[in-house]
Amino acid sequence: MRDTLLFLGQMARRWRTTGAVVPSSRGLTRGMVDAVGDVAPGQVILELGPGTGVFTRALAARYPHARLLAVEVNPTFADRLAATAPPTAEVVRGCASELPALLAARNLEPDDVAAVVSGLPLLSLPGDLPERVLASVAAVLPPGRRYVQFTYSVRAWRRFATPGFERRPSRKVWLNVPPANVLTFVRS
């Protein structure tokens, strides 16, 4: 309940970067985590925009042998998640458009990255920030590995160029407010 209230407060104050009206449902969480695929022991899962940590906790539970970097720009969310994150998760205060630098600061290489999972509201971010985030993901994700993103509008995603990625079929999650789609891209 405390996380839900925190989420609602941040949504009201920073709606454009929060991008949702309520935290993600169990169904959406399951869909996002299921789309990640195989993760070898010691590999890194990058989570973009973890908010209150719904996906973070599910990723840590499903992949306890992986290192999880949760990149959050909102200081309120980052502070809360840092206090409650699972032991295998590190909360990184920063922008998802700077992933190469965030990895380098931790002595990590793109080859260490197993997948990128994003809860970012790319459709509502200002200016060229969505394109910079996608370029940052492309810069750190090795070929054959997955970028998983949810959206409320598959149609609006047609306006985004995703060079270097092959889009796989999306999965509709009806038990979410509002219903959402899990988009899976594979780095080509």
- 148-174 tens-digit pLDDT: 999 999 999 887 788 899 999 999 999
**pLDDT value of position 24:** 80
* 106-123 tens-digit pLDDT: 999 999 999 999 999 998
pLDDT above 60 (res 15): no
Which pLDDT band holds residue 20 (cuts at 50, 70, 90)?
low
d(Cα 185, Cα 164) in Å, to the nearest integer?
Answer: 9
48/96 Cα distance (integer angstroms):
6
Question: What ranges make up the beta strands (E) of the chain?
Answer: 44-48, 67-72, 89-93, 113-118, 146-151, 165-167, 171-173, 180-187
The percent of residues above 90 in pLDDT, for the chain, comes to 81
Tell me the CA end-to-end span of the chain in Å, nearest whole number.
41
The SS3 assignment for 45 reads strand
How much is the mean pLDDT over the chain?
90
Domain CATH code at residue 66: 3.40.50.150
pTM: 0.88
Lowest mean pLDDT among 119-123, 135-139, 142-146, 160-164: 160-164
Number of domains in the chain: 1
| Cβ atoms within 10 Å of 158's Cβ, excluding its own | 8
Domain that holds residue 148: 2-187
pLDDT surpasses 90 at 186? yes
pLDDT confidence of residue 158: 83
Burial of 100 (0-12, 13-18, 19+ CB in 10 A): middle
d(CA 27, CA 165): 25
pLDDT band of residue 12 (cuts 50, 70, 90) is: very low
Segment 47-93, tens digit of pLDDT: 999 999 999 999 999 999 999 999 999 999 999 999 999 999 999 99
